Amino acid sequence: MNGEYQIVIESDKEQATKRQWKLGSFKEFTNEAGLRALFAEFLGTFMLVLFATGGINPRIIARLDDSGTTDLFNFSTSFGVGMTVCLMIYLCADVSGGHVNPAISLMFFLDTQISFIRMICYIFVQFCGGFAAAGLLWGIGNFEGLPDFAPPTFENFPFIKVIVFMVAGSWMLILVTLAAIDTRRGHADCFLQPFAIGMSVHVALLFMGPYVVTGLNPVVICWYIVCGVWTHHLWAFGLLPFLGTATAVAVYNGILRPYKA
């Protein structure tokens, strides 16, 4: 038994030595596979922002105020966003990895699965997709006469509580994602991995919805920027998911990673 335990530990240490951050090169995107990966991230993020933002825009909220179905709205939008994330991952996974979220790209880099250059290029095209979707939605949405486009506020929440809500939601997404894709857990690739990640988004948004009505994807700020709105709250939507991601990756690899060869 001691011998088996030693083999597992040595194998785990051997894997740890192979895991190291890589700078990478822009040559990764000078071939067909690299260009297809960039397009997949652009398209996946475009579709995600278009459908998710389209379902939570002021036109819907204006009707919500009259109907009073806040709880049902929170559940349905959270489920809709989670399922959209699931579908976009399923669509793009075999081409680019199906990140469709700058925080997820940061997760892959910190987990030493992609290079720094690839992370930067992915984040760039993801924001391009987010701005393109927000611009299209703004152009065809006919939002004149609807309520203010200002992002949801944190009301009288102390700053520390804002961080807790945003980071806790990010932890749900990142920890489940890392567990779903970790080959050391011995599961094969299947449709259940995108579903698990989508459900983590759904649960996180259900938790955050009554307090911080926003997503776990930094590209959510594209909608408010296109609308011409900038408030002192907007930075939190764009930056705190990165903070949650960095800490969640450290927790997973330091505590929750499986000890399997």
- The answer to whether 213 touches 73, Cβ cutoff 8 Å, is no
User: For 97-220, where are the alpha helices, taking DSSP H only?
Assistant: 102-110, 116-141, 159-181, 192-208
As a whole number of angstroms, the distance between CA 226 and CA 114 comes to 30
Q: Which domain covers residue 78, as residue numbers?
A: 31-256
> Which CATH number does the domain housing residue 191 bear?
1.20.1080.10
211 within a domain of the structure (yes/no): yes
Crossing angle for the helix pair 116-141 and 102-110, to the nearest 10 degrees: 170
Q: What is the pTM of this model?
A: 0.84
242 within a domain of the structure (yes/no): yes
- The answer to whether 42 touches 131, Cβ cutoff 8 Å, is no
Reading the block at residue 247, the tokens are: 């800490």
12 within a domain of the structure (yes/no): no
Measured CA distances, 25 to 34, 119, 146 (Å):
11, 11, 46
Give per-residue pLDDT as tens, 2-26.
444 343 444 444 454 467 888 878 8
Average pLDDT, the chain: 80
- The more confidently predicted of residues 28 and 159 is 28
Give per-residue pLDDT as tens, 102-128.
999 999 999 989 999 999 999 999 999
Q: Which residues contact 96 (CB under 8 A, 6 or more apart)?
A: 36, 37, 38, 40, 41, 44, 122
Give per-residue pLDDT as tens, 181-230.
888 877 777 778 889 999 999 898 888 877 766 678 999 888 888 877 76
* Confidence (pLDDT) at 126: 96
Confidence of residue 61 (pLDDT cuts 50, 70, 90): low
* Confidence (pLDDT) at 166: 85
76 within a domain of the structure (yes/no): yes
Give per-residue pLDDT as tens, 72-85.
777 777 888 889 99
56 within a domain of the structure (yes/no): yes
Angle at alpha carbon of residue 219, lines to 160 and 141, rounded to 5°: 120
243 within a domain of the structure (yes/no): yes
Number of domains in the chain: 1
User: What do you get for the CA distance between the two ends of the chain, in Å?
Assistant: 16
Measured CA distances, 124 to 74, 129, 131, 140, 188 (Å):
30, 9, 11, 25, 30
89 within a domain of the structure (yes/no): yes
What percent of the chain clears pLDDT 70, i.e. is strictly above it?
Answer: 76
* Confidence (pLDDT) at 211: 72
22 within a domain of the structure (yes/no): no
* Confidence (pLDDT) at 99: 93
